[in-house]
Structure 1
Amino acid sequence: MPRQIFQLRMSLSGVRPVIWRRVLVPGGYTLDRLHRVVQHAMGWRDCHLHSFEIDGVQYGEPDPDGELALHDELDVRLDAVVGKGSRFHYTYDFGDWWEHDLLVEDALTAEADERYPRCLDGERACPPEDVGGPQGYLVLLAALVEPGHPEHQTMRDWVGAGFDPAAFDAGRVDTLLRRLC
């Protein structure tokens, strides 16, 4: 039976202009592997906890203390919980609370000579880790564009001279994703 591939569009909630990615992911991936795809595609560094919410059910890495009621993401295949047209959520960093909206845009048959996952497209750079969520990111962006902003130099030093919020390189993300195969 041919492998099913999902075309996913993921976008970061609460940030304008929108930061988004379009990826192709095998339907047979577990949610744990999908977590790694989201991390690489968006540009996160996997420094914080995360969870998925699909049809009101929470999935993630089980909490050994039992404080978070999460179903084990290692036990759940993507194609068992979503299909074409499904919408679900991924939350990263329970302090900064980065919410990602995911949409299964299409379900395709894998091409025999193609490797997955793949990044097809996207826009804008991922916010830096620990910036303070969407509100903190808005403060960072405002400080970076206004040299007279009281936080301009502090924020520029913190984020580094190479940070460009408008930058996105689908080829670089595709290379990172291919290492997950």
Structure 2
Amino acid sequence: MPDPSRIARLRITLDDTEPTVWRTVEVPLSASLKLLHEVIQAAMPFQDYHLFQFQEGSARYAIPHPEWPDVNTRSAKTTKLGALVDRGTTAFAYTYDFGDNWQHTITVEELGPADPTVAYPRFLDGARRAPPEDVGGTMGFEEFLEAVTKPRHRERKRMLEWYGGPFDPDELDRETIEAGMAKLARRRAIGQAAFAKSRSQL
């Protein structure tokens, strides 16, 4: 059973982006991979519109579909981050949106005790804005950036209208990211309190 008083510092790197889009977060080892998915969604931020999976060697973790069971896919809801770390995993993959195919590398940078004064998960740092949803994968993102960062580009107006406003690729929307992370931390704290209460009534 993963120790709830220990945390992992993770670096999330969006593959095939140059300059690199990356984030650093701290997540309890007791967190499920489903929660880690939600952490990544908040950290980028994405909108959680699409399917996802984690890959560690030949093992795949996702939300199994009840009508199409896959014996090769393990449940991200019941697998803890600590289960991967305890068997020596230092890096694994995360894919979001199988159409746009956003592939990420998750690197375990450090393990240590949780700070009792800190609400986890928490966002530490990062660089650059993540791609918009449904932009068309790496190639579509490159074309989008080409259009929105050049004032005289013929597609600029159309792309900005599609996106819904200005897009600065160098801007890290820290306020939105931290708000999303705080929401996850509050939900986790409520769940822990409810679990502790139920245990005390046994």
Taking structure 1 as the reference length, the TM-score comes to 0.93
- Say if 1:7 and 1:23, in contact at 8 Å, map to a contact too: yes
Note the C-alpha offset of 1:40: 0.4
Unpaired stretches in structure 1, ≥5 consecutive residues? none
Q: Which AA in structure 2 matches 1:89? A: A
2:188 alignment partner in structure 1: none
**Aligned ranges for residues 62-81 of structure 1 at < 5 Å?**
62-66=64-68, 69-81=72-84
Q: Deviations over 1:70-129 (max 9, x none)?
A: 211111010011257711010000000000111000001001111111111001111100
Mark the CA change 1:81 to 1:123 in structure 2 (over 3 Å): closer, same or farther. same
1:162 alignment partner in structure 2: 166
Equivalent pairs counted in the alignment come to: 181
RMSD: 1.8
Rounded to whole Å, the distance in 1 between the matches of 2:24 and 2:89 is: 14
Rounded to whole Å, the distance in 1 between the matches of 2:158 and 2:150 is: 12
Q: Give identity over the alignment, percent.
A: 38
Of 76-85 and 45-54, deviating more is 76-85
1:131 alignment partner in structure 2: 135
- Say if 2:121 and 2:184, in contact at 8 Å, map to a contact too: yes
Q: Which AA in structure 2 matches 1:17? A: P
Note the C-alpha offset of 1:152: 1.7
Rg larger in structure? 2
Q: Which AA in structure 1 matches 2:21? A: I
Rounded to whole Å, the distance in 2 between the matches of 1:147 and 1:55 is: 44
Note the C-alpha offset of 1:67: 6.6
Tell me if 1:152 matches 2:156: yes
SS at match of 1:6: strand
Rounded to whole Å, the distance in 2 between the matches of 1:167 and 1:178 is: 20
2:61 alignment partner in structure 1: 59
Tell me if 1:90 matches 2:94: yes
Runs of 4+ in 1 over 6 A off after TM superposition: none
SS at match of 2:184: coil
Taking structure 2 as the reference length, the TM-score comes to 0.83
Rounded to whole Å, the distance in 1 between the matches of 2:141 and 2:23 is: 18
Select the structure that is richer in helix: 2
